[in-house]
Chain A
Amino acid sequence: MKFWEYLLKIDRRIVFLLVGLSVLIPLIFPFRIKTNVMPYTQKLFDVIEEIDPEAQGILISADYDPQTMPELHPMFIALLRHAFARKIPVLVMTSYIQGPGLAKQGLDQVTKEFNSQAMTNADSLIYGRDYVFLGFPPLWLAAVLRMGSDISQAFPADYYKNRTASLEMMKKIKNYNDIGIIVSIAGSAIPQSWVVYANTRFGVKVGSGATAVTAPDFYPFLQTGQMSGMIAGLKGASEYEYLVHTKYNLTGPTPATKGMSSQSIAHLTILILVVIGNIGYFATRRTRES
């Protein structure tokens, strides 16, 4: 009987150790695992594929902070690669005070990747011509509403203190009419606010990148079409990496894909622990009842 009781009360330090090892070992010795693309990831990818780079740009809002960075930053990188590979003008902003640092890191990394392979000036990614980093607006909601009529008014200066209206790209992209899709990458309900204030009011398409925990909140919006697609969790990020890298033959690092072996084993470990707990529970139930 003691064995069954032990199954019910495994020391939490052992649980922590098992989970730690199930994350760490596959990270050190990763194994290849087939990527099965889910419909909402594919949908977002397809919407971005349909954007005409001559007519419209894409706005990526990095609405996350370092806490959710491991899950969300790979999405940001994959989206940037997708947009740059298609030569779509990219606008980046953030609604989190801690967001600009991460957005800048991501932009620097991806532009470096593309520029290292560029052969001509036209192939290169040039700030102000191909992408603009708007930074963080102190009053996010007012900025979102104002961008509907004039982006340069909502952000008179960009992150680097340039006059936004003077940038070459901004002469083409004035307001939401010139944006093919807004993708909000967040670990909170921010994408929902983008739907309410940008999609409902101005009709611009909105997509989201969400942590696995917050993703279920957005399903009602995906079903109604108010949200045009979603990358959900690290798995979603790995799917997007797969789609972009396969289609455009890109070679940059794919942290989400690498994390999949760890995540798979960690999930299985937790499930095995839950099964063990339940076996112990049923084996000792009669004793407890008597």
Chain B
Amino acid sequence: MQRTIPLMIVLIIGIAMLIQFFIPHKISKEIYMNFLDWLGIIASFALVLGLGSLINHHIDKIQRKREHWQYSWVTLISILIVAIIGLFGGMEGKGPLPVQPQIMIGNKLIVIKYSIQTIYDNIITPLGGTMFALLAFFMSSAAYRAFRARTFEATLLLIAAFIVMVGVVPIGYYISPKLPHLAQWIMDVPNTASKRGILFGVGLGVAATSLKIMLGIERNWLGGGK
């Protein structure tokens, strides 16, 4: 029963959604809109479950002192602080507790807004930017080590990378005005051909998996092993 009911729901809803796509009738649209509302409600439950699961996971990690358990404290404390600021300060410090601590640095009075936007501007933005900026260094080191003309295929890849890397920056135009167009051709023809092939594969895979889920052949989403 525990498995049959969810399987039946998936089969019926899956077929209903498939059919409604081809029937542009008012009733069909109304049903569809209702399903979208349900989707929102289910997602809200998933959010609560996700948060609960994250907290449980980190508490368990701390209790068992698993590898890097200290970082779990960082996660839990961050969740707590952001939740408090979000609940009482709001997005822009206009929440029910709009405390604005003030600090004097030299002659300058700095007002700290008690809001999510403050955390966002001063912590998330610089941290995110730093993480992504590091990629440039690792990618350049990896390119230097890996881009070797060892075989014919590797040489082709190397030449294509050369043209695209120079062609997509303005300096490429100064090296040769034809270089940007050659880079564009590589992106337009060989790149698009391979991407299109991958997209067809992915599309067919998604359709097959969806059908398998609807027909109950694929049951991993039900969880619980066998």
Listed in ascending order, the chain A residues whose CB lies under 8 Å from chain B are 10, 12, 15-16, 19-20, 23, 33-36, 38-39, 65-70, 98, 100-102, 104-105, 138-139, 141-142, 145-146, 149, 212, 215-217, 219-220, 223, 232-233, 235, 238, 260, 263-271, 273-274, 276-278, 281-282
Pick from A101, A139, A141, A260: contact of B117, CB below 8 A: A101
Q: Cβ of B171 and Cβ of A66 under 8 Å apart?
A: no
Q: Cβ of B29 and Cβ of A149 under 8 Å apart?
A: yes
**Chain A residues positioned under 8 Å from B36 (CB to CB):** 142, 145-146
**Chain B residues positioned under 8 Å from A33 (CB to CB):** 170-171, 174
Q: Cβ of B149 and Cβ of A15 under 8 Å apart?
A: no
B24-46 residues at the A interface, CB under 8 angstroms: 29, 33, 36, 39-40, 43-44
Q: Cβ of B188 and Cβ of A223 under 8 Å apart?
A: yes
Give A236's nearest chain B residue, CB to CB. B168
Q: Cβ of A235 and Cβ of B169 under 8 Å apart?
A: yes
Kindly list 6 other residue pairs between chains A and B, CB separation below 8 angstroms, not including A15-B140, A39-B184, A220-B192: A146-B36, A215-B187, A235-B169, A264-B169, A270-B165, A274-B143
**Chain A residues positioned under 8 Å from B150 (CB to CB):** 281
A69 to B125 alpha-carbon distance, docked (Å): 8
Given contacts A16-B137, A104-B117, contact A10 B144 (CB under 8 A): yes
**Chain A residues positioned under 8 Å from B137 (CB to CB):** 15-16, 19-20
**Chain B residues positioned under 8 Å from A23 (CB to CB):** 136
A281 to B146 alpha-carbon distance, docked (Å): 11
Q: Cβ of A216 and Cβ of B187 under 8 Å apart?
A: yes
Distance in angstroms from A207 CB to nearest chain B CB is: 17
| Dominant secondary structure at the A interface | helix
**Chain B residues positioned under 8 Å from A263 (CB to CB):** 169
| Dominant secondary structure at the B interface | helix
Whether B132 is near chain A, meaning CB under 8 Å from some CB there, is: yes
**Chain B residues positioned under 8 Å from A146 (CB to CB):** 33, 36
**Chain A residues positioned under 8 Å from B29 (CB to CB):** 149
Q: Cβ of B129 and Cβ of A67 under 8 Å apart?
A: yes
Given contacts A36-B180, A277-B148, contact A220 B199 (CB under 8 A): yes
Q: Cβ of A142 and Cβ of B39 under 8 Å apart?
A: yes
**Chain B residues positioned under 8 Å from A66 (CB to CB):** 124-129
A113 to B185 alpha-carbon distance, docked (Å): 38
A138 to B127 alpha-carbon distance, docked (Å): 24
Pick from B121, B147, B180: contact of A274, CB below 8 A: B147
Given contacts A260-B170, A281-B149, contact A142 B40 (CB under 8 A): yes
Pick from A142, A145, A219, A265: contact of B192, CB below 8 A: A219
Distance in angstroms from B52 CB to nearest chain A CB is: 17
Distance in angstroms from A94 CB to nearest chain B CB is: 13
Given contacts A65-B128, A66-B128, A68-B132, contact A219 B191 (CB under 8 A): yes
Q: Cβ of A139 and Cβ of B43 under 8 Å apart?
A: yes
A255 to B189 alpha-carbon distance, docked (Å): 31
Give A217's nearest chain B residue, CB to CB. B195
Whether B120 is near chain A, meaning CB under 8 Å from some CB there, is: yes
Q: Cβ of B166 and Cβ of A267 under 8 Å apart?
A: yes
Q: Cβ of A101 and Cβ of B170 under 8 Å apart?
A: no
A39 to B162 alpha-carbon distance, docked (Å): 21
Fill in one digit per residue for B176-189: 1 if any A CB lies within 8 Å of its CB, else 0: 00001000100110
**Chain B residues positioned under 8 Å from A35 (CB to CB):** 170
Pick from B141, B171, B173: contact of A15, CB below 8 A: B141
